[in-house]
Structures are given as C-alpha cells and as structure tokens.
Amino acid sequence: MRGSILALASLLVLAGCEKPAPPPSSQRVTLVQKGPAQIELVPAAGQPPYCLVFTIAEGGPIRHLTMLEDKLSPDCPAGEPIAGNVFRIPPREGKVKIFVVFSDRALESDPIAQQISDLVSQKTPVTAMDLRAPGRVVVETLEFTPSSG
C-alpha cells in the first residue's frame, strides 16, 4: 500500500511539472535552396555582425563568395541573406562544403582565405580556433550538392 501511495504521489508531482523547452538551435546560419544550384545563406540571431563565406568543392576549387572591393568582411545582419545575394554553385564541381566565418569586426578576407586553403590542403578541419584572426570568430560549416536541373 505504501509503495502505491509513493508511486501515485510521484505521478502527481511529475504531472504538475512543465516540460523543459527544447534547447535552442545551435545552427548559426540557414541554407535556403533557391534552385537546383542556387542558395541563400541566412544568419541566425545572436551571431557576430560580420561574415565571410567560402566554398570548397569536391572538384577542388575554393571560392570566396563575399568578396568586396575593399576586401573586408561585409555586414551580415540576422534574418537577411548574406550580401543580399543568391549564390550559384557550379554543378560540375560537385558537392561543396560552405564555411561561414562570423566575426565581431570586419576582417581582411585574403588572410582568412589563405588560412582556409592551407587547412583544407592539410586535410585539417576548419574551426575558429585554427584561424588566426583578431576578436571573436566563430565558424559554421554546411554542405550542399548542386544539380544541373
């Protein structure tokens, strides 16, 4: 009898508890497919305000998608497509890894591009810890496979 009362009391306590909210998504950027070989990249809230975007294709080429005339990382407001662009990924190059480098200050793109190239050629993962950059830097890695039709 005593065991039944304890079990009933436990059920009543558990029934009164609210379920905890699911943990927030840790995804820093959302990939939105706009066509068979076209994507938008949309930063999530809470990310540092500047970003650089690079792709590395299975076929080898490394592309810098956020190249500006001044060679500095652009503003990347949350909820808006990066650089206001739809990016085209050449299907002939195959699947790409997309590296989005967020930072708390505008970064020079050339040194970051060289570091990413070096890490990839050494078959080393690209992480914020591996990049020599001032300030707070975080990296999001995504994958996308374009198609021709």
Domain boundaries, the chain: 23-144
Q: How far apart are CA 85 and CA 101, in angstroms?
A: 17
> What would the two tokens of residue 13 be?
């306590």
Reported in sequence order, the residue ranges of 44-112 that DSSP labels E, i.e. its strands, are 50-57, 62-64, 87-88, 96-103
Q: What is the pLDDT of residue 13?
A: 44
Q: Which residues of the chain have pLDDT under 50?
A: 4-25
Q: What is the pLDDT of residue 83?
A: 93
Q: What is the pLDDT of residue 11?
A: 44
Cα-trace Rg, the chain: 22
Q: What is the pLDDT of residue 120?
A: 87
The SS3 call for residue 82 is helix
Reported as a single tens digit per residue, the pLDDT across 23-37 is: 344 799 999 999 999
Reported as a single tens digit per residue, the pLDDT across 89-112 is: 999 989 999 999 999 999 999 999
Q: Looking at domain 23-144, does it have CATH number 1.10.287?
A: no
> Which phi-psi region, left, alpha or beta, contains residue 83 (left: φ > 0; alpha: ψ -120 to 50)?
left
